Amino acid sequence: MTEAPNIQYEMPKAYEPGKVEQKWYQFWLEKDYFTPRIDPEKKPFVITMPPPNVTGELHLGHALTDKLERLKQQLIKF
């Protein structure tokens, strides 16, 4: 088994969006990721609750929304 290379670098103390996001935004534009692909053979769906914010902290509003959406999905299935 080969050993992983010993690469050391210092992680920035703060996120610097200008160094990262322009590259990825251009990549997404080139790949046409902002354009939806609609397949008429499939039933559409919507994700109503986005992931938690950047802090990763959830609160009761998230829990309530999640529970209501899950209940709605369960009722639709039956």
Q: Where are the domains of the chain?
A: 46-78
N-terminal to C-terminal alpha carbon distance within the chain: 52
Which of 22-26, 43-47, 69-73 has the highest mean predicted lDDT (pLDDT)? 22-26
Q: Which of 22-26, 49-53, 71-75 has the lowest mean pLDDT?
A: 49-53
Angle at 19 between CA 16 and CA 25, to 5 degrees: 110
The whole-model pTM stands at: 0.40
68's tokens: 């209501």
Percent of the chain's residues with pLDDT above 90:
18
pLDDT tens figures, 36-67: 888 999 988 777 666 666 666 767 777 788 88
Residues in the chain: 78
pLDDT over 80 at 6, yes or no: no
Tell me what percent of the residues of the chain surpass a pLDDT of 70: 79
